[in-house]
Structure 1
Amino acid sequence: MKALIAGAGRLGTQIAQVLSAAQNEVILVEQDDERLHEVSALPRVRLVAGDACDPALLEHAGGLTCDLIISTTGRDEDNLVISLIAKRQFDVGRVVARVNDAENAWLFDQRWGVDVAVPAATPLISLIEEATGATDTVALLRLSKAGVEVIETAITERSRAAGHLLGEIALPNGTVVATVVRNGRPTVPQPAMRLLPGDELLLVSHEATEQEIHAAFQ
């Protein structure tokens, strides 16, 4: 599957990480240069600088050949414009848009090209499931077609990984850390990140069991 994600914020980054880990072709569009730099370490994700509301930019990024376009910017008006371009101009099969202000939810429907509207207050895992379409990609935290599992583990005071650098943790084969959620904010994992009690990790694996992953951190 080829997916284009507009907006490299919390939701956009998480979806990009999960989809790329499942061997999908992922393009992430962001107009903030500082934010682009922050996510530059994302593996197997092509970054494009620019305004996704610009049809020419979207076309240049690959929108015409995408199976899925997801608009996750922090502005509802931008998400609606991007959705309309994706559906009406590019005829994308599945268009997903984030709803930042609940009062605007009524706008996010087929009239604006939106197939799936994702409320911003939805829990992280549910956001990823709903945005990508559980029946054809994540499938209730299990990417069964690709043989990939998405597993969560939390760091506590008693966890063996507490206080250690992420790069020091010996992960099972075929496993990557997709994100570390700290104080409610997801961050791009770096080897030099020191794991703290309260951290929540989202991992993707096509080989390890949930027990093996938990054992690496607990």
Structure 2
Amino acid sequence: MNVIIAGAGRLGTQIAQVLAAAHNEVTLIDSDDDRVAELEGRLPLRLVAGDACDPALLEHAGALTADLVVATTGDDEDNLVISLLAKRRFAVDRVAARVNDADNTWLFDRRWGVDVVMPAATPLISLIEEATGATDTVALLRLSKAGVDVIETAITPRSRTAGRTLAEVPLPDGTVIATIIRDGRPTVPTPAFTLRAGDELLLVSHTATEQEIHAAFQ
């Protein structure tokens, strides 16, 4: 699946990490050159600096062959423009857009090219089939075409893995850690990374259940 994500904030970066970890072709766009430079080399995807409201930039990013466009900028007007361009100009099959101001939710519909509405409070949203949110371990994204589940779990002060390195945590077969969110920023996991309370982990698995992931970390 070819995916374009506009907005490299926390939500956009999380979605990009998850989809890239599931072996999709992902392009992440942001208008902040410094943010793009910060992420360069840290994410297994293509980064593009520029304004995603510009049709030429969207085309350069691959909109003509995109299967999915996700607008996650902090500006509702920009997200609507990006959605409309994706759907009307580039005929993208599936378009998801973040709503920052709840009062603007009524605008985010198919008239503006939006197929999936993403409330700002949602930590991550299913871009293929379903959206799920909870305070514990939850399946956030089910990639049916790839046969992959992406599962989130959070480390609490009572988690037995708090203070342990990733190398010390036995994972279920067929499971890898896609990213760790610490202090609002994604971190590339390494065996020496030490978990601490407050860390949020996104794991990709072909076989493990939510209960098995919970058992491994809690």
Counterpart in the other structure of 1:28: 28
Counterpart in the other structure of 2:129: 134
Q: 1:89-123 CA deviation, whole Å, 9 max, x = no partner? A: 1111111111111122222222322222211122x
Deviation at 1:143, TM superposition (A): 2.9
If each structure's helix is expressed as a fraction of its own residues, which one has the higher value? 1
Counterpart in the other structure of 2:194: 194
Aligned 1:36-51 pairs, distance under 5 A: 36-40=36-40, 41-43=42-44, 45-51=45-51
Counterpart in the other structure of 2:80: 80
Deviation at 1:61, TM superposition (A): 0.9
Inter-partner Cα distance in structure 2 for 1:178 and 1:128:
16
Deviation at 1:212, TM superposition (A): 5.2
Instruction: Check whether the contact 2:140–2:151 (CA below 8 A) recurs between aligned residues.
Output: no
Describe the shift of the 1:207–1:115 C-alpha distance in structure 2 as closer, same or farther (beyond 3 A): closer
* Equivalent pairs, count: 208
Deviation at 1:186, TM superposition (A): 4.7
SS at match of 1:57: helix
Structure 1, unaligned runs of 5 or more:
none
Amino acid of the structure 2 residue aligned with 1:59: E
Counterpart in the other structure of 2:8: 8
Inter-partner Cα distance in structure 2 for 1:121 and 1:157:
24
1:162 aligns with 2:170: no
Deviation at 1:60, TM superposition (A): 0.7
Inter-partner Cα distance in structure 1 for 2:207 and 2:11:
26
TM-score normalised by L of structure 2: 0.82
Q: 1:149-184 CA deviation, whole Å, 9 max, x = no partner? A: 22233323344432234466554554332332445x
Inter-partner Cα distance in structure 1 for 2:27 and 2:156:
34
Deviation at 1:144, TM superposition (A): 3.9
Q: 1:163-212 CA deviation, whole Å, 9 max, x = no partner? A: 234466554554332332445x3523343643212322121122545565
Inter-partner Cα distance in structure 2 for 1:173 and 1:8:
31
Structure 2, unaligned runs of 5 or more:
131-138
- Superposed structure 1 runs of 4+ greater than 6 Å apart: none
Q: 1:127-160 CA deviation, whole Å, 9 max, x = no partner? A: 321xx1316xxx9643343232222333233444
Describe the shift of the 1:141–1:53 C-alpha distance in structure 2 as closer, same or farther (beyond 3 A): closer
Q: 1:65-108 CA deviation, whole Å, 9 max, x = no partner? A: 11111110001111111111111111111111111111222222
Instruction: Check whether the contact 2:140–2:152 (CA below 8 A) recurs between aligned residues.
Output: no
Instruction: Check whether the contact 1:178–1:188 (CA below 8 A) recurs between aligned residues.
Output: no
| Percent of aligned pairs with the same amino acid | 70
Inter-partner Cα distance in structure 1 for 2:31 and 2:167:
30
Instruction: Check whether the contact 2:151–2:210 (CA below 8 A) recurs between aligned residues.
Output: yes
1:115 aligns with 2:115: yes
Describe the shift of the 1:144–1:113 C-alpha distance in structure 2 as closer, same or farther (beyond 3 A): closer
Instruction: Check whether the contact 1:14–1:128 (CA below 8 A) recurs between aligned residues.
Output: no
SS at match of 1:38: helix
Inter-partner Cα distance in structure 2 for 1:42 and 1:34:
15
